[in-house]
Amino acid sequence: MERKREITEQILEVELAMFISVPTAHRHSCQEDPESFKLHRRAQFAAWSIPTLESYLMDLLRARDTDCNLVALKYALMDDLVPRENFSPCINLIVDLALTGQRRFIADFPCLMRGGRPLSKEEDVPGLTSFETYLRGELETYSESTLELLYGDMLALQSSGTSLSEATYRNLAAQLGFNSLESLEETLRRKHNP
């Protein structure tokens, strides 16, 4: 477990440096809150296996060594500012699994997902990017090795009866001090429906 934490923290260090330096017309509030950025990314990586984390760390380090900002590239891909170059078949497989998991998660935890991203690319509007578009933009920055390993992780999660979305939010709930995802959902339900 220590190795996983160590790799995750290395990833967060490189990603945060890339995230903070994304060129924008104006600074976004999330760029001014590095702890929130790390909290959410840490939750996402908690469900990844060590080989997947190691592969992604290598992607980041290779990119950094060639002055390529993968976070900026992700946003450029999401906004159609640069052409796609990664056509790995794993991308569609991962997106399909992720959409299925996210759809189920939204149904099971509606209070938690209230105000979240729209689900599919058909729902993209200026200033609001869907879960699908965001995910696809991020996946297109990953190497084939990372994509294949992540797909394997997602299949393992699915066969254990969960999804990457659920695993991510379970970790986020724990980081926020809740004893379960269900208790976070109940807290939010009471807050919105007193």
Q: Whole-angstrom Cα distance, residue 11 to residue 60?
A: 7
Distance between CA atoms of residues 13 and 125, nearest Å: 31
How crowded is the C-beta side of 64, counted as CA atoms within 13 Å? 16
Cα(74)–Cα(22) distance, rounded to whole angstroms? 10
How far, in Å, CA of 98 to CA of 87, rounded?
Answer: 18
Sign of the CA dihedral with 58 first, then 59, 60, and 63 last: positive
| Residues of the chain under the 50 pLDDT cut | none
Write down the pLDDT at residue 29. 60
pLDDT value, residue 27: 56
What pLDDT score does 25 carry? 60
Report the candidate in 87, 68, 72 with the shortest Cα–Cα distance to residue 136: 87
- pLDDT of the residue at 127: 81
- Rounded distance, CA 95 to CA 129, Å? 15
Do residues 47 and 98 lie in contact, with contact meaning Cβ atoms separated by under 8 Å?
A: no
- What pLDDT, on the 0 to 100 scale, is given for residue 186? 95
DSSP annotation of 128 = B
Dihedral in degrees, nearest 10, Cα atoms 62, 66, 72, 74: -40
Q: Which pLDDT score is estimated for 33? A: 85
127 phi-psi bin (left φ>0, alpha ψ -120 to 50, beta other): left
